[in-house]
Amino acid sequence: MHHANHFYGHAHVLARYCGLDDGHPPRINGYVQHGWNIGDGLAPGHPYAERTPSLLWSEQTRRRAWSVGRRNVVVTGAPFAYLLDLRRDDPPPAAREGTIWYPFHGWEGQHVKGDHKELIARIRDTEPGPVTVCLYWHEYGMRRVRRLYENAGFRVICHGYRGHWWRDTDPLFLDKQLTELRRHARVASNRLTSAIFYGIAAGCEPAVYGDPMILAKEDPTFGGTARIRRQWPQLHGESVDLPTAVGIARAELGTDHRCTPAELRELLGWAHPAGGTS
Amino acid sequence: MTTGTTAPVALPGGEMLAWSDLPEQRLADGGPLGALAARVVPAGARVLLAGPHDPALLDRLAHAEVTCLLRSHPDAVALTDRAARVIVGGPAGLDPADTFDVVLAGAGLDAVESVEGDRLGWTGVLARLAAALRPGGTLLLRLDNPLGVSRLVATSPWYADRADAAWSVGGVLDAGRPANREQLRARLAEVGLTADAGYAAYPDPGAATALVGTDALDRSPTSGLLDAVLHGACAGGFVGGAVLQDPARLAVDALHAGLGATLAPGWLTLARRPGPDAPVDPPLPVVLVQTGPPGVGVVEVTDGPAGWHWAVTGGGATRVRPAPFASREAAHRDPAALTGPVPPGRLLRTLLLDACLRRDLDALRRLLGGYAGWLAGQAGPDGRLTDASALADADNVVVDGDSFAVLDPSWRATGSLPLEVVLARGLWRCAVTLLTGGYAHPWPSTLDVAGLTVVLGGVAGHDLDRATVDTAVETEAAVAAALRGLDADGRGALATELRAVTPTDPPAGPRGYQQMREAWLRQREELTRLAALLKWTEELLTSRERALRRADATINLLSGSLSYRVGRLAITPARLAKRGARAAKRRAREALGPKPPEEQQ
């Protein structure tokens, strides 16, 4: 029902997993969590119709959402976990090399402030192999920012546009991201974000370091970056313990809570699709 | 022993002429009390049956010489052909010189005393009956629990009893009346009796369908057998009435808290007058329970060196094969299957509900996955299940570590059922319990019963579809109809009823105030959800209409612009050419396409 269900082609991935046509995914009866989240699973300020199901990634998020008054909160796992299942039989990449680096991104409504040059220097000093920098479409479209990374000798890519109000969603956003992640040995960012967890799940060694930058009008309700560093210190640093990271990523993406297609169809309200879009 | 002729009726005074105590609800073969009495009474013993009892109980004591002490004259007349002697009046009418090997007071002591004559009170009646017991003799006494499950769920308070029998209301305020098992033991000791084995009587002490050893309840609060017995007895014991809360839930909670005996609706206690002729204690069952279709008899569980074992007494003991009509029914009960050990473990139903309440999806996956895997292991090469495993649902499956087993194997399918249908039926029953019972669970309220069944199937690792669930509901109706003895019309009506169950319905069974209120709350929450959704949808519609108007305005603006008109003029030849090409293509297809066959003249 909410246009955020389409972000990053999440609804499309879920439709594929459910055996439906992913051209126009049916309307989802609920809010699909669209990014790793230290709050109730919904983006800050997300319009909310009372008791509409929240389809969340992890059990921890479910408990948190319940504690702040949300009801009908259900753990289904991240859409990325479903994509991993859809592409579990992909041939393995010839060789994983280098690092895919995700500078923390803002979005249309919130811009990021920080020193990209300083971050670039830190990346150069830290990463042992070739670096691919993946910019969010917003920064990718800012020639000045993109050039900074290109001039540093990094390969600069963008996975696509996440979409807005059902328009211009790249339904293969996550697919492209998974393909890129599987080409790299490491995944890194200056903040612990969805991409880090995706990278770990895709087999990368994670790292979180560098200036976390400042997001304009960042919502401090759930503690912000300071709380993230306090709660997940094991995932911060230029090198982290991989088995620990894999366990945390598994829990945060809800990989073990991935539903079967029939189960997911019921939970999304797709058992009797009446048309419309999510 | 039963005389076959009319017994003499003694009228020592105190009889009630316009009164009857005989129970309205009567269990086949005297029920578990009859089975227990038959075990307690030795052959040829002199028995005093003090107070009103089901006449069928007298048939279970055919091996003894029974004297009935009744206050009701009509009841005495009704029993004269079953007893050796009938004394009509209060306990004062007993001959002080007359002693008995066994005194049975299965209706409690209140019903022994008459309205006529001096009041003896509870303690006085006990003293009189104890005095009638010879040294070494046995008393089987019922005492109702003032804080038992049946009282806790009653819609009317005990102290407001307005029934004809409530000419005097005894309760915990009466210091002479024991209110718990310890006080009962003390009262018995005061009259020279030693309390022996005790049974908790569920669900109604007046018509107990389950007698469970109090020691077993105290020692085995996690037993799947005791869980199933208490739940089954209470779920079936209040049907048609109104209750404050679900008695089955309360009884099972009491069991798990180690209070199954303490909160029992009543107790049956065996007490012995010490003496040189005390008989060797007969081995008594741990559980005596009567469930299912009549004629099965009383199912007993006995304790042995190898653990608990099934046994059947009464009607079922002699019936080793299903009834002839059973082959036409979807399911039947075969008491002959109750011969082996009782499998240990916890009841799957309880484990599932617990995991749902804690939202422990990992535990649910283990339990339901294990259940589905175990069912698959029971299936034949054709993927179908037969006999007890075909009806193995969470109410009748115990889990011991990682192993699953049918608890009571006497419930059996007559034919075979596909694995998916058996699984879907079990999960559908779980879904109904979760939703109509108002249990907290990990899934959204937007799921209907069939939807939750499919979700539970997913948790079990099986992709069920709604068609399979529908077949499972049909199977459930057929099974329930067979076990309840319904005809084809009844079965059809039941299937319709089962399909119509919604999450906002109260559970089947007694109308529980808590359950009705919870159902109302669920309906209110659903209305809240729908109203919020409607408001959201209206706002979204307004937003999209505004976007559409903007898009229309843009299109109109562009349509009227010079560049649009020039562009449209420029592409006119191309548009006309495209239109012509389409028409030519259509004509060519018509000309070359297969012609319809000519009609035969």
Least CB-CB distance to B446: which of A29, A256, A261? A29
CA B9 to the chain's CA centroid: 42
Q: What is the pTM of this model?
A: 0.90
Q: What are phi and psi of A218, to 5 degrees?
A: -65, 135
Q: How far apart are CA A108 and CA A254, in angstroms?
A: 28
Does A268 reach chain B within 8 Å, measured CB to CB?
no
B56 vs A212, higher pLDDT: B56
Q: Is some CB atom of chain A closer than 8 A to the CB atom of B547?
A: yes
3-state secondary structure of B433: helix
Question: How far is it, in rounded angstroms, from Cα B114 to Cα B258?
Answer: 38
pLDDT bracket for residue A168 (50, 70, 90): confident
The answer to whether the CB of A274 falls within 8 A of the CB of A26 is yes
pLDDT exceeds cutoff 90 at A113:
no
Which residues, 6+ apart, have CB-to-CB distance to B569 below 8 Å? Answer: none
Cα distance from A213 to chain B (closest Cα, Å)?
34
Residue B359 at interface with chain A, using a CB cutoff of 8 Å: yes
A131-150 residues touching B, CB cutoff 8 A: none
Q: In sequence order, which residues have a C-beta less than 8 Å from that of residue A76 and are 6 or more positions away?
A: A32, A55, A56, A57, A254, A257, A258, A259, A264, A267
Verify whether the Cβ–Cβ distance B528 to A50 is below 8 Å. yes
Q: Can you tell me the mean pLDDT for A220-239? A: 88
How far apart are the C-alpha atoms of B577 and A39, rounded to whole Å?
60
In this predicted model, what pLDDT tens digit does every residue of A245-276 receive, in sequence order? Answer: 999 999 999 999 999 999 999 999 999 755 55
Both tokens of B241, joined, read 């009435």
Task: Give the mean pLDDT of chain A.
Answer: 89
Indicate the residue of B365, B458, B537 with minimum beta-carbon distance to A262: B458
Tell me, yes or no, if A53 comes closer than 8 A to chain B by beta carbon: yes
Domains and CATH numbers, chain A: 3-88+254-268 (no CATH), 99-253 (3.40.50)
CA distance B130 to B100: 10
Which amino acid belongs to residue A206?
A: P
Closest to A40 measured CA to CA, from A67, A10, A79: A67
Alpha carbon distance B326, B307 (integer Å):
32
Q: Which chain B residues are closer than 8 Å to A75 by Cβ?
A: 361, 442
Chain B contact present for A85, CB below 8 A: no
Chain B interface mutation, best of A3, A73, A260, highest count of B Cβ atoms under 10 Å = A260
Question: If chain B, 601 residues long, is cut into consecutive pieces of 10 residues, what is the mean pLDDT of each piece?
Answer: 66 92 81 94 95 92 95 92 92 92 96 92 96 96 96 94 90 90 97 95 94 97 97 91 96 98 98 80 89 78 92 58 57 88 97 97 97 97 95 97 95 94 98 97 96 98 95 95 87 94 94 96 96 92 90 84 80 87 87 57 34
* pLDDT computed for residue A201 by the predictor: 97
B residues 472-511 lying closer than 8 A (beta carbon) to A: none
- Chains A, B: CB contacts within 8 A come to 84
- What's residue A278's pLDDT? 54
The tokens describing A196, both together, are 């880090």
- What pLDDT is attached to residue B7? 73
Q: What does the H/E/C string look like for B278-317? A: CCCCCCCCCEEECCCCCCCCEEEEEEECCEEEEEEECHHH
Closest to B314 measured CA to CA, from B326, B293, B299, B333: B299
Q: What residues of B are in contact with residue A62 (Cβ under 8 Å)?
A: 359, 442
Contact B442 A75 (CB under 8 A): yes
pLDDT at A217: 67
Contact: A50, B532; criterion CB under 8 Å: yes
Share of residues in chain A with pLDDT > 90 (%): 65
- Give the phi and the psi of residue A106 in degrees, each rounded to 5: -100, -155
Interchain contact, B528 vs A72, CB within 8 Å: no
A166 pLDDT higher than 90: no
pLDDT value of residue B469: 97
**Contact state of A257 with B443 under an 8 Å Cβ cutoff:** no
Q: Where are the domains of chain B?
A: 9-153+175-319, 346-509, 511-543
| Alpha-helical runs (H) found in B288-416 | 315-318, 348-357, 361-378
Report the CATH number of the B9-153+175-319 domain: 3.40.50.150
| Of residues B577 and A76, more confidently modeled | A76
- Tell whether A167 is within 8 A of chain B (Cβ): no
